[in-house]
Amino acid sequence: MQVHPLLLPVADLLFPPRCPLCGEGLAAQSGVCASCWAELAIPGEPCCSACQRPFGDGISHGAVCAVCLSDPPKHAGIAAGTLYNDASRKLVLALKPGGRIALAPLLARLILAQLPEKVGPGWLVVPVPLHRWRLWRRGFNQAALLAGEIARARGAELVVDGLIRRRRTRPLGGLGKAARARVLSGAIAANPRRMGQFKGAQVLLVDDVLTSGATSGACVAALRRAGAKEVRLACFARVLDEALDAAGG
């Protein structure tokens, strides 16, 4: 939710700016305090050229991680705003179950800082879909909020209903790779009304958190079946414990 610049003084008076993580007073309505900012783990170089998985020091630019060498990804790259830790988890919880949708621009800015410059006009930006019943209960799709901010910032086209969930799926936590694939089999598909847009398209797939990659993998597969030429992934927080260790986080 954007506040008109002329109304910012009134908003600040009625709702004094606070850090969404610790509650400390801020100078503006967006952002986090300096202490909490330091707690966010921001991916950097060196990293895998195929999936952005951070490396330790001493790895040459353009190297590919062992995971991508053993199982080459179907996507064209990942842009994660942060690595998932306690600080990023609190922001995700505040946005999603907490309903603080005004945090979406902040989370999107962190994603945008990691996106290649090539992602812009001519690209389609598609959020990972929610099942209609979950969307009805929550009232919004957090991935769609992030996708909208990214599309506006880069001059790309938002296709908010590009993908659909045909059926509800159980939580994937604790399941192995094969079990996750079975749960998601046939659950996500390209919207038949959008098929013409995907033919030969470059697509940015957006989600709030990337964990095992099972859901995003199902989305990528659906987009490629619909004819997408290239699919890149973007998320606010990526779960990579070993990357946090390498980054000292």
Is residue 244 over pLDDT 60?
Answer: no
Query: For the residues 143-154, what does the mean pLDDT come to?
Result: 97
With a CB cutoff of 8 Å and minimum separation 6, the contacts of 151 are 125, 157, 158
Is residue 5 over pLDDT 80?
Answer: no
Please state, for a pLDDT cut of 70, what percent of the chain lies above it: 83
Write down the residue that tokens 């790259």 correspond to: 77
Query: For the residues 36-58, what does the mean pLDDT come to?
Result: 85
Range of weakest confidence among 19-28, 30-39, 154-163: 19-28
- Structure confidence by residue, pLDDT tens digits, 159-179: 999 999 887 765 666 666 677
Confidence of residue 8 (pLDDT cuts 50, 70, 90): very low
Is residue 7 over pLDDT 60?
Answer: no
Is residue 6 over pLDDT 70?
Answer: no
- Structure confidence by residue, pLDDT tens digits, 181-231: 676 777 889 999 999 999 999 999 999 999 888 889 999 999 999 999 999
Is residue 248 over pLDDT 60?
Answer: no
- For each of the domains in the chain, give its residue range(s) and CATH number, in order of start: 1-39 (no CATH), 40-247 (3.40.50.2020)
Query: For the residues 1-17, what does the mean pLDDT come to?
Result: 48
Query: For the residues 77-105, what does the mean pLDDT come to?
Result: 89
The more confident residue out of 149 and 62 is 149
Specify the long-range contacts of residues 164-168, CB closer than 8 Å, at least 24 apart. 164/129, 164/188, 164/189, 164/190, 164/191, 165/129, 165/130, 165/131, 165/132, 167/131, 168/131, 168/133, 168/134
